[in-house]
Amino acid sequence: MTISSSLNAGVAGLQANATKLASISDNIANSSTYGYKRVQTDFESMVISRNGGNYSAGGVRADTNRQIDLSGSLVTTTNATDLAVRGRGMLPVGKVTDLNVGNGDTNMLLTTTGSFTTDDEGYLTTNSGLVLLGWPAQPDGTIPTFSRDTAEGLEPIQINVNQLTGEPTTRMSLGVNLPATATVAGSAADPQQLAVEYYGNLGTSESVNVTFTPTVPATGASNEWTMTLTDSVDPAVTIGEYVLTFDDSRTAGGTLASVATVSGGAYDNAAGTLIVNVDGGPIEIDIGVLGQSDSLTQLSDTFAPVSITKDGSPVGNMTSVNVDGNGYVHATFDTGVTRTIYQVPLVDLPNPNGMVALDAQTYQPSVDSGSFFLWDASDGPTGDIVAFAREESTTDVANELTSMIQTQRAYSSNAKVIQTVDEMLQETTNIKR
């Protein structure tokens, strides 16, 4: 019995070391594979003889474990959509084959890195057949609230490279200096004209035409102007008229003293703004708070548009896409406008090593890994997403080669045990002769 158990232990040793050699071979073969997580093989002793008497060898059993939570070094690339996770968390991806089925159901897999490029339909995919998943943004660039414990809200990220976009103007600021000499008795009372461009709801370029007409008194200085606003869509219609009075005191000279509304939206003393209705809708115009010199002023003898700002943008073509550290996918247009179109969350699990390993360095959550949660990148326990980067394999070739030598010696030793047992059994057989 003892001799037979020795033989079984030797066979178990051969099997265990063969398993370890297989894992070493896999690790070495994938030493240059981006995102590869090395496999660790550990041995467990098997005990059969628990009491005294003759000892029976139990042998050994190999246990393999893929170290998914182990991070590799990051290397830089030249592709803006080469992504890698720095720290804890994994990127959600799906299979391109799920897209081809066309039922809208993409099973979420996880990976820590990927080289994503747009395919013929604009999806961000890898050469290995993976598509990046994310939450779609609303037209204004905000991300709606999605459930964080399910992948239901995730969609394959599709980039429309021929996309056109434009944003209407909803707010503008007038930083203009009016000549104080124009409100002095005897001046010519010439009006000052100013056209401020705005963008309509359909991306068209229009303008709010502003006319400043000085009030010229019989004597002295009035320090008063009438501001009239019209829309270029219908110049004959006045959309707002206001009487502006400026301060001429030593401490606040040149700043607005009062604003009287003749027509249009009322002037807001606290915000320094008024609202007028153009053809496409309301526009808020900032003319400055009373007593401050950051917008409309009346100084010296020069009419000068100092600072004219507005929001909105003309229609533009998408030129590039990038992903920031928080996982927001930004589209940049040739007008200089950048818009958020998706957000890529990072998925975290209690036990990443418990996931099921699949092809192409992807993993699937399982009962052993625990329930997953979708975090904003850089929030909670997760790290950030690095663009222009790939994660290298976690294989250390030097250590693997050393383990290979040890495994080879251990395999040979177990083979020697089997050879010795065979010789002993032969001696036992010879006793009969």
> Is 359 exposed, middle or buried, given 0-12, 13-18 or 19+ CB atoms closer than 10 A?
exposed
Same-domain check for residues 302 and 268: yes
Same-domain check for residues 205 and 128: no
How many residues comprise the chain? Answer: 433
Domain boundary among 311, 332, 354: 311
Same-domain check for residues 196 and 307: yes
DSSP 167-235: E---EEEEEEEE-GGGGBTT-----EEEEEEEE-TTS-EEEEEEEEEE---SSSB--EEEEEEEETTEE
Q: How many domains does the chain have?
A: 3
Q: Residue 151: pLDDT above 60?
A: yes
Same-domain check for residues 290 and 177: yes
Same-domain check for residues 12 and 122: no
* pTM reported for the whole predicted model: 0.76
Beta bridge mates, 85: 385
Same-domain check for residues 195 and 264: yes
Same-domain check for residues 189 and 307: yes
pLDDT range class, residue 51, cuts 50, 70, 90: low
pLDDT range class, residue 104, cuts 50, 70, 90: low
User: What are 107-131's pLDDT values in tens digits?
Assistant: 899 999 999 999 988 999 999 999 9
Same-domain check for residues 191 and 279: yes
User: What are 216-273's pLDDT values in tens digits?
Assistant: 999 999 999 999 999 999 999 999 999 999 999 999 999 999 999 999 999 999 999 9
Domain that holds residue 408: 2-67+394-430
Q: Report the Cα–Cα distance between both ends of the chain, in Å, rounded.
A: 22
Provide the CATH number for the domain around residue 176: 2.60.98.20
Same-domain check for residues 136 and 218: no
Q: Which has more pLDDT, 101 or 430?
A: 430
pLDDT range class, residue 194, cuts 50, 70, 90: very high
Same-domain check for residues 345 and 369: yes
Same-domain check for residues 161 and 174: no
